C-alpha cells in the first residue's frame, strides 16, 4: 500500500500543478476543473491508501481472499447505462428499458456476489 499511496500523492501534486498552470494560462474552465478534480481524487486515494498502510503491520501473513469469478453482470450494467443515456436523447420508452435492464443487472450481480460470499463463509 505504501508505494501505491506515494504514486497517488505524486499524481495528485502533478495534476494540481498542471491544473493550476493550465487554468491561469488558458482561462478555460472545463479542462481546469477536470485536472483539479482529478488531483483531488488522487489526493483522496492517497489518504485512503496511506491510512491503510499505517494500519497494516509490516509482515502480515497473506489472508485467504474471496475469489469472485468472471461475470457478465458488469457488462450488462454498463450496457443498461448506455441504453438509459441513449433513451434520454431519443425516446422515453428506451429509458424505461434501460432502467429495467439496470435493475435486473444490479439484482443479478448482487445475487452472484452474495452467493460467492456464502460459499466462502
Partner 1 sequence: MSAVATPERKAKPELSGPVLGMVLFVASEAMFFAAFFAAFFTIKDNEPVWPPPGIHLEDKVATILTVILIVSSVTVQIALRSMRSGASRRAKIWLGVTIALGITFLALQLYDYSQLGFGLRDGPFGTLFYVMTGLHMAHVFGGVVFLALVFSQVLRGRLSSEHHDPMSAGAIYWDFVDVVWICLFIVFYILTPR
Binding status of residue 41 toward partner 1 by CB under 8 A: yes
Calpha distance 94→73 (Å, rounded): 20
For partner 1, the closer of residues 72 and 110 by Cβ is: 110
Give residue for cell 497473506: 62
Q: Give least dist CB 55 to partner 1, A.
A: 5
Binding status of residue 78 toward partner 1 by CB under 8 A: no
Number of chain residues interacting with partner 1 (CB under 8 A):
26
For partner 1, the closer of residues 21 and 110 by Cβ is: 110
Alpha-carbon separation of residue 85 from 16, 90, 102 (angstroms): 31, 9, 12
> If DSSP codes are grouped into helix, strand and coil, which group holds residue 90?
coil
Among 24, 63, 70, 119, binds partner 1 (CB under 8 A): 63
Calpha distance 110→42 (Å, rounded): 28
Residue 34: name the closest of 12, 14, 19, 13 by CA: 19
Among 31, 75, 96, 111, binds partner 1 (CB under 8 A): 31
Residues in the site for partner 1, rule: CB under 8 A?
1, 28-31, 33-34, 37-38, 40-42, 44-45, 48-49, 52, 55-57, 60, 63, 65-66, 88, 110
Amino acid at each position: 500500500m505504501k508505494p501505491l499511496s506515494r504514486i497517488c500523492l505524486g499524481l495528485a501534486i502533478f495534476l494540481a500543478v498542471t491544473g493550476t498552470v493550465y487554468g491561469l494560462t488558458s482561462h478555460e474552465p472545463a479542462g481546469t476543473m477536470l485536472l483539479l478534480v482529478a488531483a483531488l481524487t488522487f489526493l483522496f486515494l492517497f489518504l485512503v491508501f496511506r491510512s491503510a498502510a499505517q494500519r497494516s503491520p509490516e509482515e502480515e501473513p497473506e489472508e485467504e481472499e474471496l475469489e469472485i469469478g468472471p461475470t457478465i453482470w458488469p457488462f450488462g450494467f454498463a450496457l443498461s447505462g448506455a441504453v438509459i443515456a441513449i433513451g434520454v436523447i431519443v425516446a422515453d420508452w428506451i429509458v424505461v428499458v434501460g432502467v429495467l435492464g439496470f435493475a435486473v443487472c444490479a439484482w443479478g450481480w448482487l445475487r452472484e456476489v452474495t452467493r460467492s460470499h456464502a460459499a466462502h463463509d
